[in-house]
Structure 1
């Protein structure tokens, strides 16, 4: 009992001289380490994003404070809103529907142009079956 009172007195004296005691969680050191790790990862991610952007794009995201905010801003800038996406999809579908091999165009050039349209359609969520694609290519080629 005497030892218990002595410890209580020490604690009481600490409160008087240094102020109230702060009760900390058992895993405070782990939490602080985890917060530092997350902050460092965010810094690394922001640095990577900054290094991949040209000056024009960087000027549009430089006010973003986290990698997540940078990514969201880039997504908005590059993909646009729902209306913009819908317009892009309509244009890509029209390009697919209207594609024809041009006079003096090589098969490689046509293939690159056609592949570009297909990549854009896929990126916008539109896909065609292999049969539909084959038919489109056959119809796009000149009779010769």
Structure 2
């Protein structure tokens, strides 16, 4: 059994076309009729529905509303990547903003050391997630400079 995607993104169960003789290469494939499906074909056909169900159950209402019109699990996944990570320009913009925040970070007047440390660590983690790796020395120096003189 071979699977393929139709033009609208739904899964098709394919079989070799026996009406055409193949002298070399791979045989031409045609869609199997539902009446010809084996139990394995039926399981494979349902995989997209299972994947969509899993994705639907893990999303909040806001995100779900953005992907509910996607017909396949693959399209849902691609849309989620676009929503969460963005395109290359979005990633570059996020990185630029995070770098600027890192360069300008200072401990606030009424902020505790643990609050500042949490905010600082979160920013370092954000930079790492965006592909900007900072050395331990650079992080330590920046943290020391960000503290008030007192």
TM-score, with structure 1 as normaliser: 0.72
Instruction: Output one character per residue of 1:85-133: Cα deviation in whole Å (capped at 9) or x when no partner.
Output: 1111000000111111111110111011111111211111111011111
The structure with the largest strand share of the pair is 2
Residue in 1 aligned with 2:145? 139
Please identify the structure whose Cα radius of gyration is greater.
1
Distance 1:143 1:83, change over 3 A: same
Post-superposition offset of 1:60 = 1.3
- By relative contact order (CA 8 Å, sep 6+), the higher-ranking structure is 1
TM-score, with structure 2 as normaliser: 0.69
Q: Larger deviation: 51-60 or 85-94?
A: 51-60
The runs of at least 4 consecutive aligned structure 1 residues that moved more than 3 Å come to: 31-41
Between the aligned partners of 1:53 and 1:69, the Cα distance in structure 2 is 15
Between the aligned partners of 2:106 and 2:40, the Cα distance in structure 1 is 57
CA RMSD of aligned residues (A): 2.2
Aligned length: 117
Residue 125 in structure 1 maps to residue 126 in structure 2: no
Secondary structure at 1:113 match in 2: helix
